[in-house]
Structure 1
């Protein structure tokens, strides 16, 4: 009898965004847990300059060791994704060599965070190549990456959104005082955020007007469009969403809670997330009344549908002292290491890390490419 071929999964990680290292750490988690009896894994790293390179399959290479961020290095050999005869193929091109094929790809798992990966760009490339992929499509990825337009979508869906103002590059260069006045109307403290970045990169909490310009300058290093949000008093509650099979409604996890321990951290910043193990605690399931748990799961599914998400998302809320949920954001490619909140919430709900990876790949294989 002919042995059944394993499903071929290309893992894409690294990338051109400021979240390059976070993406590598995520890839390490997936490589270490994926069912290799069922899937053949082809790890493809993307350098900060955008080169695709064939990477080693040893997940330890991409883990966060002793706080040192992993990095995809450039190579003389470039990996290319090409479509031929109705299938997607990986090809390795080297100087003065005939290009060699790595074979067909059944599904791509883009473990990319931030710009040029989580924002619809890689999704558009994969659609053009007619290859199935894990996660949200072009529109949902773009909207979910943009902190301004996601709020517009949430408000249209009837979700509660906190006070904010958006600052474009032209607005800041043309009339910075107008921006300062708009922030004054929000009231301090505020959070200054790059519009299209994640993992708390470039985010500052600003308590005084005299510190605003420096925070804007820091955020503009990562994105020339900014969102400035009024601080909201409340607990940080998150909920995982998983696309339903077929016509089924989105599935939601038990909610989790992030508690920042204080000290040098006034909010859940990059160091608290990825570097300092004792800077924050993740509690799952969150200690909430049963009716609040039911409500936040309902709201998370609404947010998922509001941006037309597919595959997976993590939806973040503030739970106010009055018992109301104010949505903060949606992440269409959330942190996905074994200890990240998204897998942790699903583990608490009864779906383990390896099983979650399998379910996401199966969802991608079941979903057609193109308009849907």
Structure 2
């Protein structure tokens, strides 16, 4: 792979989107644009996706990117690809949450027959769906917390039976999460049945399927993965915070969480986390990038996988680029490597 050739590469930077993480996407995109801009080969072409799903042309998208705040530019309400999209050599999605990292945009880019940064349709979809993700992790032999998967219809038919099953299987505290949603949105920590009922009601308003996980006393550990067929794991990091759990506000408000890189862990634990991160990435057929989150239960020296994020944040407080920076890859080099991996993956298989 060569990041320094003289040929101009037109990179379509996709940001905004229809998820609740629209604003976070704007911050990630601005950082990525700055990172890509340090390589003279890269010509960044921004494409802003409004909250209603309408795509904006690069000129108007650049204004949004520089302003760093959402805007309603095109009021037609109709999806159409801007003409400039035909000029793009490789796409760089900086989208988070549903309609961004769940395989939908990836499928569209696949049909456009152009390279794109990050995971394909399958890995993106599985990475967003916590029920399927955990099933694949179990199949791969990766230890994880106990959980119960539940659909809205099942819950509505037999609520009391499900409450008893959850209490018997998991106990309190436990966490209720929508099966398909990003970045801690719709997640509740519950300590009794009344809170459990309210949390399931809330989670099913976001998604018809939910997952309930057993609460554990553990340290929260994260590891970044980079690559295609031969992925590499980064240095391991840890997140600490004073809030009750790592919710959306804690995750994206500067100063509410602290990143510790490298995490102070026994060498055997660090190696286990790195090995499990790569195994998880391969289990979902990952490509390009991923951030894998773990629980480290010190009392038993057990490492439990939590989830994989197939399009992690690229903000100034994001763990993914910070882990690679600590591993010797600068932010702008990381952006270039991701573009190169996209080009590599798009090459036709010969033979």
TM-score with structure 1 length normalisation? 0.86
Aligned counterparts of 1:136 and 1:42: Cα–Cα separation in 2:
21
**Alpha-carbon contact 1:8-1:106 (below 8 Å) kept:** yes
Give the secondary-structure state (helix, strand or coil) at the position aligned to 2:239.
strand
Q: Secondary structure at the match of 1:126?
A: helix
Tell whether 2:25 aligns with 1:23: yes
Query: Who is 1:365 aligned against?
Result: 343
Equivalent residue pairs, number: 339
Per the alignment, in what secondary structure is the counterpart of residue 235 of structure 2? Answer: coil
Deviation at 1:297, TM superposition (A): 0.6
Select 1:128's aligned residue among 111, 121, 133. 111
Distance 2:28 2:16 in 1: 9
Counting only pairs closer than 5 Å after superposition, residues 1-372 of structure 1 correspond to structure 2 as 5-36=7-38, 37-54=40-57, 55-56=61-62, 59-62=65-68, 70-76=69-75, 80-81=80-81, 90-91=82-83, 101=84, 103-185=86-168, 186-244=170-228, 247=229, 249-260=230-241, 262=242, 265-275=243-253, 277-321=254-298, 322-368=300-346
- 1:197-251 CA deviation, whole Å, 9 max, x = no partner? 111111111111111122122222322211110102210000000015xx5x211
Report how far residue 252 of structure 1 moved: 0.6
Contact persistence 1:144–1:331 (CA under 8 A)? yes
Go from structure 1 to structure 2 and tell me whether the alpha carbon gap of 1:122 and 1:369 turns closer, same or farther (over 3 Å shift): farther
TM-score w.r.t. the length of structure 2 is: 0.91
**Which deviates more, 180-189 or 150-159?**
180-189
The answer to whether the 8 Å contact 2:13/2:44 transfers is: yes
Bigger proportion of residues as helix: 2
* Secondary structure in structure 1 of the residue aligned to 2:206: coil
Contact 2:13 2:29 in 1 (8 A): yes
The separation in 1 between residues aligned to 2:73 and 2:153, in whole angstroms, is 35
- Residue of structure 2 in register with 1:96 after alignment: none
The question of whether the paired residues in 1 share the 8 Å contact of 2:225 and 2:234 is answered with: yes
Note if contact 1:124-1:138 (Cα within 8 Å) is conserved in structure 2. Answer: yes
Give the secondary structure class of the aligned counterpart of 1:351. coil
The CA distance in 1 between the partners of 2:29 and 2:37, in whole Å, is 14
Q: Point out where structure 2 has 5 or more consecutive residues left out of the alignment.
A: none
Q: How far apart in 2 are the matches of 1:193 and 1:369?
A: 38
Secondary structure, in 3 states, of the residue corresponding to 1:53?
Answer: coil
1:275-305, Cα deviation, whole Å (9 max, x unpaired)? 2x23211101100111211111111000000
Q: Is the 8 A contact 1:258 1:283 kept in 2?
A: yes
8 Å contact kept, 2:37–2:44: no
Indicate the structure whose relative CO is greater, using CA pairs within 8 Å and at least 6 residues apart: 2
Q: CA deviation at 1:339?
A: 2.8
**Is the Cα–Cα contact under 8 Å of residues 54 and 80 in structure 2 kept in the other structure?**
no
> Distance between the aligned counterparts of 1:80 and 1:41, measured in 2?
20
Alignment CA distance shift 1:72-1:180 (3 Å): farther
What's the C-alpha RMSD, in Å, of the aligned pairs?
A: 2.1
C-alpha separation in 2, matches of 1:250 and 1:324: 24
